[in-house]
């Protein structure tokens, strides 16, 4: 039972690079590292990677598409999550019901189903109206990515709205009352105390939500958006290889998740979380 | 907009697609239940490895949960599906049997279970760690064997801590069954898509399927909340 937490935070700043390196230097870890490197070498040597150079530019474009989908849906979804969370905590009864119902419905049904509802349902509906077909918006609406963006954004807004509800409700009443006692208006209380405190409280869970969102992005490939997953699927179909493209894809997503975790940890350390 | 819906398409009998949708929903429930059960088994082993295993087992479990949590479910499912069925049929051939096609339901359950196991490991590990150590030590001091300590003390004491996370996991697994549609399992989402493209009534069918999923998640939510309340009886309410 002695070393359950090999990576346990010893110094208040959390484990630094040197602690991680020291933790890696256990004999069995070195052996496992060697085995992993040998496995990697075998994968590179014995598997067929001759297709990779030809697909690199497409993979890069796919990566950009995945990141664009992730970034835009997280940012816009977060903006929508704020009123959703707030309405569930203090809104008038009708708004509260609407926000709660919206979050329940979105969180209770699969994202894939929502995506297909928007793409096939809305897409075929829009196509029936000549006014829409003739308008400037049709150039965008006939493409797939707006529907992917809408579905991903709504999904993120619903999940994050639930988190924000908890964060808004969790700000200690005393802080709000203290702000009121200073004579701040309700809006000023919201802007200076309630809002920043709840966002800071929600930050630690935000990392997990963004990772979950990253893991949802490949679904847009099913509605012909050419993200990373779609490129890899095409490579699999064209080269008749089963494992190599999938392994590469998994490796890329692991790297992306790792970078996200590190970036968010850096961000969290710069923000006063209170406690 | 309701006026545009032709509800006769949802009829149970043959021109309608009601029966196909319900069969698909049943298939989804079977997949979810099987994957969840397998996930709990894998999660228990994983949590035991992380908490009580040798340092190698600990690291292996850590790698497993890290990969599961970092790679999209869709990619994992494809990898597990191809690798798993490949492995099984090669095994059968090398043992001298006929090459078998793995039953679709079984393959789906294996794939879902392998993914859910990673999440269940984390939930169960946290729940076991939440059990006060003194209780386990007291049980050991009574001379109970490790298995009996687990059965009589750790398991009943960890359940209230595990239930919220496990309930969440059940919600995730019911929704993740939809991803199997991409691999080609005929569960609710794929059946819905087939019905929708055959009749071109996209809104009607996707909304109907959404309602079915919602009924499933909401009823299980109510049941799980009751179970959770029952398991917490006798515990002091959480502070705050």
Residue closest to B185 by CA, chosen among A115, A112, A231: A112
- Note whether residue B44 is domain-resident: yes
Among partner residues B71, B82, B214, which is closest to A254 by beta-carbon distance? Answer: B71
Q: Is B166 on the interface with A (CB under 8 A)?
A: no
Question: Measured between alpha carbons, how far is A36 from A34 in angstroms, rounded to an integer?
Answer: 5
- Note whether residue B4 is domain-resident: no
Question: Measured between alpha carbons, how far is A62 from A66 in angstroms, rounded to an integer?
Answer: 6
Buried b (16+ CB within 10 A) or exposed e, B141-170: eeebeeeebbeebbeebbbbbbbeebbebb
Q: What is the pLDDT of residue A16?
A: 65
Place of tokens 């001759």: A50
Q: Give the pair of three-digit tokens for residue B132.
A: 């006060």
Residue of A nearest to B76 (CA): A250
Helical (H) or strand (E) element with A53: helix A52-90
Contact A170, A198 (CB under 8 A): yes
Contact B2, B10 (CB under 8 A): no
Q: Give the pair of three-digit tokens for residue A249.
A: 């894809």
Torsion of the alpha carbons at B155, B161, B164 and B167, rounded to the nearest 10: -10
CB contact under 8 A, B71 and A125: no
CB contact under 8 A, A117 and B175: no
How many domains is chain B built from? Answer: 1
Inter-CA distances, A256 with A66, B62, B133, Å? 10, 18, 38
Residue of B nearest to A103 (CA): B214
State the smallest CA–CA distance between residue A108 and chain B in angstroms: 5
Q: What is the pLDDT of residue B35?
A: 95
**Better-scored residue on pLDDT, B31 or A269:** B31
Q: Is B71 on the interface with A (CB under 8 A)?
A: yes
**Better-scored residue on pLDDT, B198 or A24:** B198
Residue of B nearest to A228 (CA): B75
Number of H helices, E strands in chain B: 10, 0
Q: What is the pLDDT of residue A130?
A: 79
Q: What is the pLDDT of residue A33?
A: 86
Contact B96, B23 (CB under 8 A): no
Place of tokens 């209230």: B160
Question: Measured between alpha carbons, how far is A109 from A111 in angstroms, rounded to an integer?
Answer: 6
CB contact under 8 A, A109 and B210: yes
Report the CATH number at residue B146: 1.10.3720.10
Contact A195, A179 (CB under 8 A): no
- Note whether residue B1 is domain-resident: no
Contact residues of A toward B, CB < 8 A: 3-4, 26, 28-29, 32, 104-105, 107-114, 116-117, 120-121, 124-125, 170, 211, 214-219, 222, 229, 242-243, 246-247, 249-250, 253-254, 257-258
Give tens-digit pLDDT for B102-159: 677 888 898 899 999 999 999 999 999 989 989 999 999 999 998 899 889 988 889 8
**Average model confidence (pLDDT) for chain B?**
87
Among partner residues A112, A170, A214, which is closest to B178 by beta-carbon distance? Answer: A112
Place of tokens 């909401």: B218
Q: What is the pLDDT of residue B233?
A: 81
Question: Measured between alpha carbons, how far is A162 from A90 in angstroms, rounded to an integer?
Answer: 14
Question: Measured between alpha carbons, how far is B208 from B206 in angstroms, rounded to an integer?
Answer: 5
Which residues of B fall within a CB distance of 8 Å from A170? 240
Q: What is the pLDDT of residue B39?
A: 96
DSSP code string of B220-237: HHHHHHHHHHHHTTTSPP
Q: What ipTM does the predicted assembly reach?
A: 0.85
Residue B99 gets which letter from DSSP? P
Residue of A nearest to B203 (CA): A121
Among partner residues A26, A116, A249, which is closest to B75 by beta-carbon distance? Answer: A249
In chain A, which residues have pLDDT < 50?
A: 1-12, 275
| Number of neighbouring beta carbons within 10 Å of residue B98 | 7
State the smallest CA–CA distance between residue B233 and chain A in angstroms: 24
Q: Is B238 on the interface with A (CB under 8 A)?
A: no
Which residues, 6+ apart, have CB-to-CB distance to B42 below 8 Å?
Answer: B113, B114, B116, B117, B118, B120, B121
CB contact under 8 A, A215 and B71: yes
Contact B106, B27 (CB under 8 A): no
State the smallest CA–CA distance between residue B234 and chain A in angstroms: 25
State the smallest CA–CA distance between residue B159 and chain A in angstroms: 21
User: Does residue B237 register a pLDDT over 70?
Assistant: no
User: Does residue B183 register a pLDDT over 60?
Assistant: yes
Residue of B nearest to A230 (CA): B75
**Better-scored residue on pLDDT, A271 or B21:** B21
Determine what percent of chain B is predicted with pLDDT higher than 70.
93
Angle at B175 between CA A200 and CA A245, to 5 degrees: 90
Q: What is the pLDDT of residue B2?
A: 45
Q: Which domain holds residue B80?
A: 14-231
Q: What is the pLDDT of residue A181?
A: 93
Q: What is the pLDDT of residue B101?
A: 65
- Note whether residue B31 is domain-resident: yes
Q: Where does A117-144 have alpha helices with state H?
A: 123-128, 130-134, 138-141
Q: What is the pLDDT of residue A189?
A: 92
Three-class DSSP category at A109: coil
CB contact under 8 A, B56 and A28: yes
Give tens-digit pLDDT for A70-92: 999 999 999 999 999 999 988 88
Query: pTM of this prediction?
Result: 0.85
Question: Measured between alpha carbons, how far is B46 from B125 in angstroms, rounded to an integer?
Answer: 8
Q: Please report the sign of the dihedral spanned by the C-alpha atoms of residue A7, residue A11, residue A14, residue A17.
A: negative
| Number of neighbouring beta carbons within 10 Å of residue A248 | 19
- Note whether residue B8 is domain-resident: no
Residue closest to A84 by CA, chosen among A72, A95, A68: A95
Question: Measured between alpha carbons, how far is B221 from A205 in angstroms, rounded to an integer?
Answer: 22
Nearest-Å Rg of the Cα atoms of chain A is 23
CB contact under 8 A, A108 and B218: yes
Q: Give the pair of three-digit tokens for residue B224.
A: 């799980």
Which residues, 6+ apart, have CB-to-CB distance to B8 below 8 Å?
Answer: B15, B16
């Amino acid at each position: 039972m002695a070393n359950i937490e090999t990576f346990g935070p010893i110094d208040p700043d959390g484990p630094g690079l040197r602690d991680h390196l020291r933790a890696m230097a256990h004999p069995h870890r070195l052996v496992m590292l060697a085995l992993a490197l040998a496995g990697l070498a075998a994968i590179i040597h014995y598997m067929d990677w001759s297709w990779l150079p030809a697909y690199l530019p497409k993979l890069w474009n796919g990566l950009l598409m995945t990141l664009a989908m992730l970034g835009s849906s997280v940012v816009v979804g977060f903006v929508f999550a704020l009123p959703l969370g707030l309405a569930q905590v203090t809104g008038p009864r009708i708004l509260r019901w609407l926000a709660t119902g919206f979050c329940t419905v979105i969180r209770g049904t699969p994202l894939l189903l929502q995506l297909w509802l928007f793409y096939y349902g809305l897409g075929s509906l829009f196509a029936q109206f000549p006014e829409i077909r003739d308008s400037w918006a049709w150039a965008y609406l006939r493409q797939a990515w707006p529907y992917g963006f809408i579905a991903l954004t709504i999904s993120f807004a619903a999940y994050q709205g639930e988190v924000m509800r908890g964060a808004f409700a969790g700000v200690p009443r005393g802080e709000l009352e203290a702000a009121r006692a200073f004579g701040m208006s309700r809006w000023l209380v919201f802007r200076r105390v309630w809002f920043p405190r709840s966002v800071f409280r929600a930050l630690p869970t935000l990392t997990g939500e963004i990772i979950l969102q990253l893991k949802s992005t490949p679904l847009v490939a099913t509605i012909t958006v050419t993200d990373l997953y779609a490129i890899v699927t095409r490579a699999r179909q064209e080269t008749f290889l089963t494992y190599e493209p999938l392994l590469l894809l998994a490796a890329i997503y692991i790297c992306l998740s790792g970078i996200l975790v590190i970036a968010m940890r850096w961000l969290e350390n710069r923000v006063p979380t209170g406690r | 907009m309701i006026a545009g819906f032709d509800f006769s398409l949802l009829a149970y009998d043959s021109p309608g697609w009601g029966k196909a949708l319900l069969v698909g929903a049943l298939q989804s429930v079977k997949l979810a239940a099987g994957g969840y059960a397998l996930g709990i088994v894998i999660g228990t082993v994983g949590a035991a490895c992380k908490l009580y295993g040798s340092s190698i087992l600990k690291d292996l479990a850590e790698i497993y949960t890290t990969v599961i949590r970092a790679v999209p479910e869709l990619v994992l499912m494809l990898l597990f599906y191809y690798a798993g069925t490949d492995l099984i049929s090669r095994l059968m051939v090398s043992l001298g049997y006929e090459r078998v096609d793995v039953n679709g339901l079984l393959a789906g359950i294996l794939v879902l279970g392998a993914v859910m196991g990673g999440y269940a490991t984390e939930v169960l590990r946290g729940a076991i760690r939440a059990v006060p150590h003194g209780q386990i030590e007291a049980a050991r001091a009574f001379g109970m064997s490790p298995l009996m300590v687990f059965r009589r003390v750790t398991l009943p004491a960890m359940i209230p801590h595990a239930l919220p996370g496990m309930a969440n996991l059940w919600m995730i697994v019911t929704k993740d069954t939809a991803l199997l549609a991409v691999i080609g399992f005929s569960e609710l989402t794929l059946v819905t898509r087939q019905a929708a493209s055959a009749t071109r009534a996209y809104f009607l069918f996707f909304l109907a399927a959404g309602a079915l999923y919602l009924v499933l998640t909401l009823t299980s939510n109510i049941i799980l909340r009751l179970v959770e309340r029952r398991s917490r009886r006798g515990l002091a309410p959480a502070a705050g």
